[in-house]
Structures are given as C-alpha cells and as structure tokens.
Amino acid sequence: MKSTLPFIGAVGLWVPGMDLRSPAAAAEVAAEVETLGYRALWLSEGLVRDPFMEASTLLKATRSLIVGTGIAVIWGRHPRVIRSQSRALLDAHPGRFVLGLGTSHARLVEGVLGLRYERPLTKLREHLDHLDEPDPLLELAAVDSGPAPQAPRVLAALGPRALELARDRSAGAFSYLVTPEHTAHARAVLGPDRALIVEQAVVTGVSADEARARARAHIAGYLPGAPYRASWQRLGFDDADFADGGSDRLVNALVAIGDDEIMARVSAHLAAGADHVCLQALPTDPVTLPLDQWRRLAHLTRRSAGSAAVPIN
C-alpha cells in the first residue's frame, strides 16, 4: 500500500540555528513563516536545543505548517528516543511532522557534538534496523489508543549508496549543497515513487558584492567536509575548485543569487526531479534570521499551489 508525505508544496524553508533564539522568538518567526504562505519549514540539527523540542515549539505556534528535521543526526540518539519523540509530535499535531535523519559529517559530529564519527552508512543502516524493531510498549499503548502514528521518514543522502538506502528504507532523500545535475541523478536512483527534497542556498535583496561575499563564506565553511567534497567531485569539480575558499564556478553552482537566478534554480531542480526545494537564505551572520529575504521570496510559494502530495511506499 502506498502512503504520502504531508502536502509540503514545491517550495519551503531550511533554517539553521533557529534554536539560537528564545522559544518565544522562534514561535513568532514560525507564525510569520506560515502567514507568508510557506507550507514547510526544515530545522537543522540543534546546537542549543534539541530539534525535536524545537519542532514542538514551532508546531504549537502554527496551525498547518509542516515541520521537519533536516536533518537530526543519529549519533548520540537512541532509536527508541527518536521513535517516542516523533510519536509525541504526531500525537499532538497529526500529519504535520516529517522525520529527517542522517549522519552529517565528522566536523560537526566530532568537532561540535564531541562524538565519534565512523562508518557512517553502516551506522545509519544499523540505526534504522533498531528504529524499525517492534516496540512492545507501543503495542501495549495501542490497545487503548490505536496504532501508533508513524512519522514519514527521509534520509540525508548525497552519494549513490546513501541514495539507495534512502530508496529502500525511507520515504525518500534529503540532499544538501547540490546542483540540479545531482538532483537528476538522485531521482534516477530513487525511482518515481520516493520523495526528493533538495536544499538550495540563496541570497537576494542585497548588493551583488554583499551577496557574493555571503555565498563564498557559506561554501568555505563546508570545504573541509569530506562528504561534500566527494559529492562535488562526482559532479565534475576538482581540487582547484576547493582551493582559496572555493572557486567562482563552485560557489555559483551551489548558491543562487538574485530573484531571477533563484527562480531559475528552483525550476531547474523541480524539472530534474525534485518534489520540494527548501530555500536556505544566507544572512549576514549565523544568529540573524533572514526574515527580509523570506518575505521577498514568499512569491515562490505560489509554485506549490498545484503540487500534489508525494506517493511513497
């Protein structure tokens, strides 16, 4: 039997560091995001507060906004805890939470979270095995409350093996820092009935020099990440593109600057097989939310008006 992801539309937002502001401020921001017409908001791994707790705050502050973890890292999280947190969110807000899981990369896991990073794909597969094990307590609870709701699950995936795992063990894939060429490849691996959610970095509403500076600083922060380098190399970039903070070719391919280029890039991802493009508007600094850019880009949400829910197995 096929099921569907919630109706998330063609365009949403990806927001890093939402937990760097107070819960009250985050709730106010989420309410405005919903008012602007965005159907989905994706949260990065939390640095101050757990993303599942943050999702609860944002869901309470809105009426229909879909909130997803994009992504919650598996390291340091027991599958049982993830299962119970997801169920709690769906119990309180039916049909409005999507569970995004992944391994992230060593720089975050070891350098920020202080956890060991090894054999990521194997660890993710093992984590999914445990996550899918029968839970006697949930079965007991179902006697009174009915079957436990299951959160639609997407996996962070860049390389071929990760995409295959997403195809075989989840509702679909969540890709980050990719081009429309990668989106086309991902769709070919996933097949027609898995969701493909693509993050796209953007800058708009500022001078060209400022936009390029933000774009370059953003990409420079990911250059040490081995998974991203490997992904870019598969797309035809080489060591010259990774030197001196990243080549213009690399930066331009990964960050869309200006309204026209953003619209063209979103259209290219959708044409290549993406079901949903979540925009990451780059602010002046990590603790500033780019509300001005979200307001400016809200017209893009009109693209989602005719989008259907994504069928998945």
Q: What is the pLDDT of residues 178-187, one digit of tens each?
A: 999 999 999 9
CATH code: domain 3-312 is 3.20.20.30
- Residue 107: predicted pLDDT: 77
- Residue 146: predicted pLDDT: 64
- Residue 111: predicted pLDDT: 78
Q: Where are the alpha helices (DSSP H) in 119-272?
A: 120-131, 136-145, 160-169, 180-190, 208-220, 226-234, 239-242, 248-254, 259-272
For 201, the 3-state DSSP assignment is strand
- Residue 140: predicted pLDDT: 64
Handedness of CA 135, 137, 142, 148 (dihedral sign): negative
Each residue's pLDDT tens digit, 133-162: 987 766 666 556 666 678 999 999 999 999
- Residue 308: predicted pLDDT: 44
CA angle 60, 103, 197 (to 5 degrees): 60
Distance CA 16, CA 9 (A): 20
Six token digits for residue 32: 């405005």
- Residue 138: predicted pLDDT: 63
Cβ neighbours of residue 308 under 8 Å, at least 6 residues apart? Answer: 7
Q: What pTM was computed for the model?
A: 0.93
For 66, the 3-state DSSP assignment is strand
- Using a 10 angstrom Cβ sphere, with 0-12 exposed, 13-18 middle and 19 or more buried, the burial of residue 207 is exposed
Distance CA 103, CA 244 (A): 27
- Mark the ranges of the chain whose per-residue pLDDT is less than 50: 1-3, 304-309, 311-313
- Residue 70: predicted pLDDT: 96
